A and B are shown apart, each in its own frame.
Chain A
Amino acid sequence: MLEISNLTKIYPGNVLALDRVSFSVQPGEFLAVIGLSGSGKSTLLRCINRLVEPSSGQVTWNGVDITQASAEELLRIRRKIGMVFQHFNLVSRSKVITNVLAGRLGYVNPALSLAHRFPKTDIQMALRQLGRVGIANQAFKRADELSGGQQQRVGVARAMMQEPEMVLADEPVASLDPVLAHSIMQHLESINRDDGVMVICSLHFLDLVHRYAHRAIALNEGRLMFDGSPKDIDDAKFKEIYGQEAERVG
C-alpha cells in the first residue's frame, strides 16, 4: 500500500510543480497518471523514489515514510521500485545485457559490480527477462544499435531485474508508435497481472488509459483534479483536466 499525502514540490525559482497532492495506491493496482505536459506527472513519479527531493508531504510505502529515509535506507527502498522512462535512459554505449544487469546493482556485491562482475544467477536472470520481452537474441549488441521499441523493452527488462514491488513508468510509450506502444503496455500489464506488481504509469492517450489502467488520477498545474475509474472521465471532466480548448482525440 502506497499512501501519498500533501506532497508538495517547489523547484528553485518558486515554481510550484506539485501542490498538496494526496492519494493512495493498493498493492497490485495499475494506476494511470494523466495530465498535460508540465502538469507535474514526472515530478510526482520522481518524488516517490526521491530522484526529485519533495519539498514537503509524505510518501508512505508499506508503513515506511520514504521522504524521511536516510541515504542508506533510500538505496534499499529504491531497489524495490523499478522505473521505466520516456526516453528509455539506456546507457547507449554499453551492451544490452549490461544495461539489464544494471537493474541488479542494488543487490550485488558493490566492489565486484564496479569491475562489472555479476553472479551467474543474475546473468541467467537477465537473459530470462530479455526473453520475456522477446529480445533475447539482441543481448550482446550495443544498446544504441536497437530500435526505439526494442530499447524500451530493455528498459522494462532492467526494471524487472530489480524484482520490484512497484514499477514507476514515466510516459513509457510517448516516444513510440501506436503498435509498439501497445506491445510495451502489454508487458507492463503482464508485470502487473502475473507478478502482482503495483504499476504507476503516466500516460498521454486516454484510450491507453481505458484499456490498461484500473484507476486514474489527473493532475493540472500540480493539483490533483481527478481520482477514480477511467470510465468516469466524461467530457466535462476531460475539459477540467485538459483545459476548455482541449478536444478529445483517439
Chain B
Amino acid sequence: MKIRPVLRSVAIGVAVIVVVLIYAYAFTVTDVNFETTRSEQRLTNLTRILRALAHPDILEYAQEEQIVESPIYLPCPQQAIPQLRPVAGGPFLIVSPACGDARQIIEVEGVGLWPESKGPVNFIPPSGASLTIGLFETDSDGGFKIRAQLPNRQPLTDPQTLRAIARRNVGGPHLSPMADVTIDKILETVFLALLATTIGTILAVPISFVAARNLMEKVRNPLTSVSLSLVGWPLGIWLGASAAGSIGRLLDAASASMAVTVGGAMLSPLAMWGAVAWALPRGGTRPTSWRVRLVRGLVYVLIIGFFILFLTFLANLGLSFGKWLIEPLGKLGFLGNFVYQLGDSLRMITPVLAGLVGGAALGGLGGRMGQQASDRLDPRLVRGLNIVTAASSGVVLFALIGGVLDWFYQFQDPVKTLWVPAAAGAAVGVFLAVRAQPKATLPIGSSAYYITRTILNAIRSVEPLIMVIVFVVWVGIGPFAGALALGLHTVAALAKLFSEQVESILPGPLEAIQATGANRLQTIAFAVVPQVIPPYISFLMYRWDINVRMSTIIGFAGGGGIGFLLQQNIGILNYRAASTQMLAIAIVVATMDYLSSTLRQRFV
C-alpha cells in the first residue's frame, strides 16, 4: 500500500521531466531567440514596418510644386562667390556657407515659400541627376531652416544647384493608383472564388452520391454483369468521344451559316426529347419482346447522336454569337466574351460528356445483359460465360492501367505495358470466375465507394496552393489557373462533406420510396435530394467563404488575384501598399462572412 504513492510521484516526476525535455527541444528546433527581439536595429525596423502598415496607401491629394534654387560650389572657388540678392516678396534660399567640401554639413534656410508646405532639398550636379539631401517643412510664414550634408562628389569649378521643392495639396482627397489597382484585384479575387465554388459544386453533387456508403453498399451485381460493364465502359467512352470528335469536325465545315447553327441548336434537343419520350419503357405489365428492345436500343444510339449534335451546335452557337456580340455591346463586350468562352468550354467538354454518356450507355447495357444472363441461364453456363467475360474485362482493365503507366513513365515497350498486363488480367479474370460461385454477387457499390473516397482524400490532401503550380504550367500565370486549382480542391472537399450529409439522412423516407417500386435514380431524386438540399446549401456557403480566403493567397503561387500584388509589394518592401491589400482582404473576408451567415439563416 505504501509503494503505490511512491510509484505515483516517481511517475509524475518522470512525466514532468519528459514534458520539459519536449519543450526544450521545441525551443531549439524553432530557433527561439529573444535576444534578437530586443536588438535596436530590429526594433527600428519593426517600428518602421508597423507604422507603414498603419498608413495604408489609399488616399492621396493632387499637389502643386514651388521650386526655389540656389547655386552651391563644391569645393569653394578661389575668387569670391557672387552674392544673390533676394527678389522682393518672392521665395529664396540662403545657403551658408555657400560652398564647401564633400560631406560637409551646411545650413539651408528658406524664406517666403508657401506656408505649411513640405518637400525635399535636392542637390543637382550639371548632369541633372537629383539627389535628396534633406527634407523640410515650412512654418506659417513660409520659412524653414534645416541642416544637410553635401554629397561625396568629384570637385567642380562651376557652380552646382541646390533646389528646394515645396509641395502642397490642391483640392480634396482621391483614391491613390495603388488603391485603384487593389480594388481591381480584390474584385478579381472574389470572382475567382465564385468560379471555383461553382465548378466545384457542379461536380461535387453527383460525386457525393457515389461517395455515400448508405446508397452504395447495397449495390451488388453478379460477376457477369460487372465484367461486361467493365468492358462496355471504356469501349463506350472511346466510341462516344470519337463520335463527338467527328461530328464536331463535320459541323465545323458546315457551320459557316448562322441559320444552320441556330436551327440545329433548336431542332436537335426537340428530336432528342421526342426520341426519349418514345423510347423509354412506360411500364406495361408484360415483359417487352426482344424486337421492341432492339428497336429501342437503336433509338438510344440515335438519342446519343442527337445529344452530341445538340452540344456541338450549342457550342458553335456560343462561339459565333459571342464573337459577334463583342463589337456592338461596346463596354458590355465582356458579355460577348462570356458567351464565347462558354461556347468554347462546351466545345472542350463535349467529347468528355459524349464519352461519359457512351460509356454509361454501353456499360449499362453490358451490366444489364450480364444481369439477365446471370438471372436466367443455367449456373454451369453462367460459369462458362463468367470465364470469358471476366477474362476479357481483366484484359481491358489491366491493359488500360498499363497504358496509363506507359504514359507517365514512357516505357515504350508494348511487351511490358500491353501484352504482359493483358495476359495477367486475363489470368486474374479466369481465376476469379473459376473460384467464385457463378451467380454470386460482387459488392460493386462498395468498391466504387472506396475508390471514390480514396481519390477524393488524395486530392483533398494536396493544398490548392500546390495544385496551382501545375495549373500555372498548363494555363499560364493568372486568375484562371487559380480558379481551376481552387475548383479542383473544392470538388474533393465538398464531395466529402456532401456525401457525409447523404449518409446521415433519415432512412425511413428512403425505405418508403423504395417500397413504391422506384428505381435507384428515382429513389435518389425523391428521398435523398429533398433531405440534403439544406445542408448542401449550408456547406456551399461555407466553402465559398473558404474559397474567398484561399483565393487571396493563391496568387502567392501565381494563381492571380490580390495575392500576386501583395506578394510583389512585400517583395519590394512597399509596406504601405501591402497594407492597402491586407485591408482589402480583411474587408472582403468580413463581408463574405456576414453575407454567408445571413444567407444561411435565410435558406436553411
Please list the residues of chain A having a beta carbon within 8 angstroms of any beta carbon in chain B: 49, 51, 70-72, 75-83, 85, 87-94, 98, 102-114, 116, 155, 158, 161-162, 168
| Residue pair A91, B509 in contact (C-beta under 8 Å) | yes
Can you list 14 residue pairs at the A/B interface with Cβ under 8 Å?
A: A75-B518, A76-B285, A78-B515, A83-B515, A90-B512, A93-B531, A104-B516, A105-B516, A106-B283, A106-B516, A107-B283, A110-B281, A110-B521, A112-B277
Q: Contacts A89-B508, A94-B530, A113-B525 known; A75 to B371 CB distance under 8 Å?
A: no
- In the complex, which residues 268-287 of chain B have their Cβ closer than 8 Å to any Cβ of chain A? 276-277, 280-283, 285
Nearest CB on A from B299, distance (A):
13
B517 touches A (CB below 8 Å):
yes
| Residue pair A93, B522 in contact (C-beta under 8 Å) | no
Residues in B neighbouring A87, C-beta threshold 8 A: 508
Q: Contacts A70-B375, A91-B531 known; A85 to B283 CB distance under 8 Å?
A: no
A-B CB proximity, top 9 nearest:
A106-B517, A79-B517, A89-B508, A105-B518, A89-B512, A78-B517, A83-B515, A70-B375, A91-B509
Q: Contacts A91-B530, A106-B283 known; A158 to B516 CB distance under 8 Å?
A: yes
Beyond A83-B516, A102-B513, A110-B280, 17 additional contacts (C-beta under 8 Å) are A70-B371, A78-B517, A85-B512, A91-B509, A91-B527, A91-B531, A92-B509, A93-B530, A102-B516, A103-B516, A104-B516, A106-B518, A110-B519, A110-B522, A112-B277, A113-B525, A158-B516
Please list the residues of chain B having a beta carbon within 8 angstroms of any beta carbon in chain A: 276-277, 280-283, 285, 371-372, 375, 508-509, 511-519, 521-522, 525-527, 530-531, 533-534
Nearest CB on B from A148, distance (A):
14
Nearest CB on A from B523, distance (A):
8
| Residue pair B522, A114 in contact (C-beta under 8 Å) | yes
| Residue pair A79, B516 in contact (C-beta under 8 Å) | yes
Interface SS of B by simple majority = helix
Residues in B neighbouring A90, C-beta threshold 8 A: 509, 512
Cα–Cα, bound, A31→B525 (Å): 34
| Residue pair A78, B283 in contact (C-beta under 8 Å) | no
Cα–Cα, bound, A187→B517 (Å): 22
Residues in B neighbouring A107, C-beta threshold 8 A: 283, 517
Partner of A109, one of B280, B372, B508, B514: B280
Cα–Cα, bound, A162→B518 (Å): 11
Residues in B neighbouring A106, C-beta threshold 8 A: 283, 516-518
Q: Which residue of A lies closest to B515 (CB)?
A: A83
Q: Which residue of A lies closest to B507 (CB)?
A: A89
Q: Which residue of B lies closest to A104 (CB)?
A: B516
Most chain A beta-carbon neighbours within 10 Å: one of B277, B509, B533: B509
| Residue pair A105, B513 in contact (C-beta under 8 Å) | yes
Q: Contacts A71-B371, A108-B283, A110-B280 known; A158 to B525 CB distance under 8 Å?
A: no
Cα–Cα, bound, A102→B283 (Å): 15
Residues in B neighbouring A91, C-beta threshold 8 A: 509, 513, 526-527, 530-531
